[in-house]
Structure 1
Amino acid sequence: MKSGRELVAAVGRGDAEDVTVLLEAGADPDTVTDDGLPVLCLAVGAHDAAVASALVGRGADPDRRLPDGTTPLLRAVDGGSWAMTKALLGNDPLRLPEAERERLIALARHWYERGADVELRNRTGESGPVHEEQGEDGEYDQYEDVARLTLGGFTVRAGHGAILTQLESVFGIVTPVDELVDRALAQGAWPHADWRSAESVLAFRRDPETFPAVTAHRHDPDPGRRLFVLSVFRSYRMQVYLDIWSRQGVPFGKETADVLVAWAMDGEEEDPHVLARVLSTLKQLRHPEMEAVGLRHAGHPSPAVRAEVPDLVFDWATWRTPLGAAREALLLLAADVDPGVRRRAGDALSVADDGSGDIISAIVGLLRDPEFEVRKDTARHIEAVGGEIVRVPAVAEALRAVRDEDASAGT
């Protein structure tokens, strides 16, 4: 029928919008192509998760047995894309019989343990070089840095570790924490599919064993593993942003904050990049020792670490002007040698102003900073907050100068 031919054409050109329109107009989602395979296989072969999702969402059968004994879902796992596999799993993965679940997991594990490049050579029988390029897997999931490997006209994504991790999770298999951490780090540091998949699975576990097992890796000599711990901690916070666990607050919120404070204060962390991430993660939580943590690192040799201090010594929840050592630290950081540190201090001072001469002098200094971005960012924050400070003559004059400069730069 005409709509069938049109559907095949729309799937072939990767037009998810047209595919949806044709399906809503009555096209058969299991329309077959000239090779006798359903159009869903065409989308899977093209690594087009958006089209595959549109087809499955309107009735295409991902479990249909094909002439070679596979199914579209098995082919999705073969292709190495978790976004594609997820699209074909649908909302009821437990519909699959036990034997089929085991088959999917075994296929993902085979690719992962053997290596996508090695298995690609085996599948194609080719011995030439494998062409590799980086790409993103999924329009919404954003499992970054999934390598696309091509050899002999056959292309796969190297995301089989992510698929294995997610399949185990949705089928109720509790993979040991250390094994998931190993998978996350097998391809190096974030961002890539295996890392993000392991992070996601661990962050959603609520059993009493997982949190301490993840946290134990903060003492690992590999900084990548310590960064992975922080990624899991950040995922706890993201669940609140996504309104998943907001009624209960941040999962393991107190435990996480306690670990982060100890991590920042015990002096073990020597990697400035990791330490900066520790402080950045802590500032998203609440802990009575946050100010003390900030003060401890106000003079740290790394600007990345010092840049996190203003958000720790200034209470953004109450906007109270910091006193004593916290106030002195903010003023000191406003004159830091690093412009990024000065910008972050200026953000806090723009809110913390209490009309005192030292804070006003610091703000005027930032509005006249040698770096334009520092001047512009400080002005933006001051104008957003408003208040009496904008009427202080020295501040008002400096603000006008920044506005004029910004206008000139934009013309």
Structure 2
Amino acid sequence: MTELDARLADAVAAGDAETVRALLGEGADPDAPGGDGLPVLCAAVAAYASAAAGALVEGGADPDRVLPDGTTPLLRAVEGGSPAVWEAVRGPAPVREPERLLAAARRWYEAGAEAELRRLAGADGPARTGIVRDGESDRIREITLGGRTVRDGHGAIMTVLERDLRILPPVGELVARAVRQADACGDEEHVDRSAARWTLLSRRGAGTWRAVVDFHRHPSPAYRAFVADFLSLGAPMAGSPPHHRWYEKEIAELLPGWAAVEPDGGVLAAVLRLLSEACHPRARAFGLRYAGHPDPGVRCQVARMFEVPGDPETARVVRGLGRDPDGEVRSWAAEVLDCDVAEDREVLLALLRDESSLVRVRAAYSVRSGRDRSPAVTAALVELLDADEQDERLMAAYALACRDHPGTPEAYEKVGPLGPELAGDHRVDGLWRWRYRNRPVG
């Protein structure tokens, strides 16, 4: 092994994709052997270093190279169960032996990742498991047992391979694949779910749409939650082009009846959100109906449904949500309350001194734009300038600037040097805008 190849192996082991690319550019062998004698691509696969694996394949590494045990790096990526690694290793070219890869993914999926790992490792005792990110946004379960680690995204890999082979699984099978991990570990962001959901959305046919939506009657809340998720992501398709607009009518007919009988709080909140986003004429009535629901998630959604109260009954309900025992409910209500209305202002004053930082921030944001300039609100904002959290101090300063308070420059001084997470925040411009509005004339 050359020194350059040795440095490549070290970079792969560290998951350093930038260095991998640089070394390949200098002439390192993309199929160089690692410490175990196998191509370094296998090390990237085993370490779930998807970026490094992708860099190697882009640089010429062979994902279909037959290894001494008869496997290939690509087959190892399938068995490893990470869709992010699998996508990186397969590259843009059509895969070889897709039926073999599909059979491997199906075997792992049907047996269950932990059960198959236990069988192969011949190990007893508990496995070590945890939820990790796979790629940029998906979540996945990682399992370690007997010195080997796998991830349980075999369902997602199987779904992609079926697409490559032009296999159309039944809708029910894809929905079951989407909710399997939610039933098993309560994880609605699992990569198997997102892969199945994308496949179902891409079909777009009326038969597929109806078959998915029929699961809103399923006894499992996980299935019903998936239908709400599917409808939410498919909403743009329902609005245009014109030949898809019949979905709008079917959704409008479906949602009220579903909301009236849905027993699960999480699913009900999702259905109420769909009612609100569709501007359904009965959305307000359902919001009022469920304002006292025992599930705080439902009450949060109710608060979010009333962007502008508009009538005394709705305003009364929002004020009640502003006094809710749950902090997140209060935070959403704070965004709706109107500081120019005396009854709302009384609630907002309490929320500006709430025990929850999130509630205080949202209350400060709510009072920024009203015509009210009451000393009590100003005093509450000034108090927030001494908060421990910089986000609170910035929001208080921004609200004072929006209200044209003469102490705005001093308020921004109390915010302090901004951390990187706030450096580009639009609220920072509040001071400049205040100075522009209050610049001397002439």
Q: TM class by shorter-chain length?
A: 0.7 to 0.9
The reply on whether 1:274 has 2:275 as its aligned counterpart is: no
Residues 260, 282 of structure 1: 8 Å contact kept: no
Once the two structures are superposed, residues 41-64 of structure 1 have per-residue CA deviations (whole angstroms, 9 ceiling, x without a partner) of: 221223322211111122222123
Task: Tell me which residue corresponds to 1:190.
Answer: 187
| Matching residue within 362, 368, 378 for 1:377 | 362
**Equivalent residue number for residue 5 of structure 1:** 6
User: 1:318 aligns to what?
Assistant: none
Q: 1:39 to 1:369 in 2, by over 3 A?
A: closer
How many residue pairs get aligned? The number is 386
Say which of 140, 144, 149 aligns to 2:144: 149
What is the CA distance between 1:235 and its match in structure 2? 3.7
Q: 1:33 to 1:304 in 2, by over 3 A?
A: closer
When residues 347 and 41 of structure 1 are mapped into structure 2, their CA distance, relative to the original with a 3 A threshold, is same
Give, in angstroms, the shift of residue 76 of structure 1.
0.8
Residues 297, 309 of structure 1: 8 Å contact kept: yes
Provide the rounded CA distance (Å) in 1 between the counterparts of 2:34 and 2:387.
Answer: 62
Aligned residue for 1:70, secondary structure, equals coil
Equivalent in the alignment of 1:163: 157
SS at match of 1:147: strand
- Local SS of the residue matching 2:79: helix
Q: How far apart, in 2, do the equivalents of 1:372 and 1:143 lie?
A: 29
CA 1:66/1:308 → structure 2, altered by over 3 Å: closer, same or farther?
same
**What is the aligned counterpart of 1:108 among 105, 110, 114?**
105
For residues 19 and 238 of structure 2, the distance between their equivalents in structure 1, rounded to whole angstroms, comes to 37
Partner of 1:388: 371
Residues of 1 paired with 2:253 and 2:74: CA distance?
41
Q: Could you tell me how far apart the structure 2 residues matched to 1:358 and 1:71 are?
A: 69
Which residue is 1:216 aligned to?
A: 214
SS in 2 for 1:295: helix
- Conservation of the 8 A alpha-carbon contact between 1:82 and 1:137: no
1:359-404 deviation line (CA, Å, top 9, x unaligned): 3333334335566653443123323xx2412x13333233334444
Distance 2:387 2:48 in 1: 48
In structure 2, the partner of 1:399 is 381
Deviations 1:232-287 (A, max 9, x none): 334446xx7xxx999869x987368526732554x211122221232245444443
1:178 is the counterpart of 2:160 = no
Q: SS of the residue aligned with 1:307?
A: helix
Matched, 1:361 2:346: yes
- Aligned equivalents of 2:85 and 2:317: distance in 1? 50
Give deviations 1:54-97, integer Å, cap 9, x for gaps.
111222221233344332111111212111111122234xx235
Unpaired stretches in structure 1, ≥5 consecutive residues: 316-320
- Distance verdict in 2 for CA 1:358–1:144, change over 3 Å: same
| Residue equivalent to 1:310 | 303
- For 2:389 and 2:88, the matched residues in 1 are separated by 48
Shift of 1:19: 0.8
CA separation in 1, counterparts of 2:52 and 2:98?
Answer: 24
d(CA) in 1 for partners of 2:55 and 2:117?
A: 28
* Deviations 1:296-344, CA, capped at 9 Å, x for gaps: 22232333212211221225xxxxx612432332233233344432221
Whether the aligned pair in 1 keeps the contact of 2:140 and 2:152 (CA below 8 Å) is no
Q: Tell me the distance in 2 between the aligned counterparts of 1:225 and 1:378.
A: 36
Counterpart residue identity of residue 379, structure 2: E
Equivalent residues of 2:225, 2:267 under 8 A apart: yes
The verdict on how the C-alpha distance between 1:88 and 1:404 changes in structure 2, with shifts beyond 3 A counting, is: closer
Aligned residue number for residue 76 of structure 1 = 77
Q: Which amino acid aligns with 2:223?
A: R
Q: Which amino acid aligns with 2:380?
A: A
CA distance 1:381–1:60, change in 2 (3 Å): farther
- Choose the corresponding residue for 2:252, options 245, 258, 270: 258
8 Å contact from structure 1 (residues 376, 406) kept in 2: no
Residues 130, 149 of structure 1: 8 Å contact kept: no
1:347 maps to which of 312, 335, 358: 335
Q: State, as a whole percentage, how many aligned pairs show the same letter.
A: 39
Q: Structure 2 counterpart of 1:325, which letter? A: E
Tell me the CA shift for residue 30 of structure 1. 2.2
Structure 2 equivalent of residue 133 of structure 1 = 129
Tell me if the contact between 1:257 and 1:287 (Cα under 8 Å) persists in the aligned partners. no
Q: Which residue does the alignment assign to 2:54?
A: 53
TM (normalized to structure 2)?
Answer: 0.76
Residue pair 1:314, 1:326 contacting (<8 A) in 2 also: no
Distance 1:368 1:7, change over 3 A: closer
Q: Distance in 1 between matches of 2:164 and 2:252?
A: 31
Does the alignment pair 1:207 with 2:240?
no
CA distance in 1, matches of 2:11, 2:389: 47
| Kept after mapping to 1: 8 A contact 2:8/2:28 | yes
How far apart, CA to CA, are the structure 1 residues paired with 2:320 and 2:47? 56
1:135 Cα offset (Å): 3.5
Indicate if the aligned counterparts of 1:291 and 1:314 stay in contact, CA closer than 8 A: no
Residue type of the alignment partner of 1:388? R
Equivalent in the alignment of 2:115? 118
- Alpha-carbon shift at residue 119 of structure 1 (Å): 2.8
**CA deviation string 1:185-208 (max 9, x = no partner):** 333232433333323332333222
The DSSP-based 3-state class of the residue aligned with 1:136 is: strand
- Describe the shift of the 1:108–1:392 C-alpha distance in structure 2 as closer, same or farther (beyond 3 A): same
Q: CA deviation at 1:104?
A: 0.9
Partner Cα distance (1:118, 1:356) in 2:
61
Separation (CA, whole Å) in 2 of partners of 1:305 and 1:157: 33
Preserved CA contact (<8 Å) 2:83 2:153? yes
What are the ranges of 5 or more consecutive residues in structure 2 without an aligned counterpart? 394-413, 415-442
Greater relative contact order (Cα < 8 A, sep 6+): 1
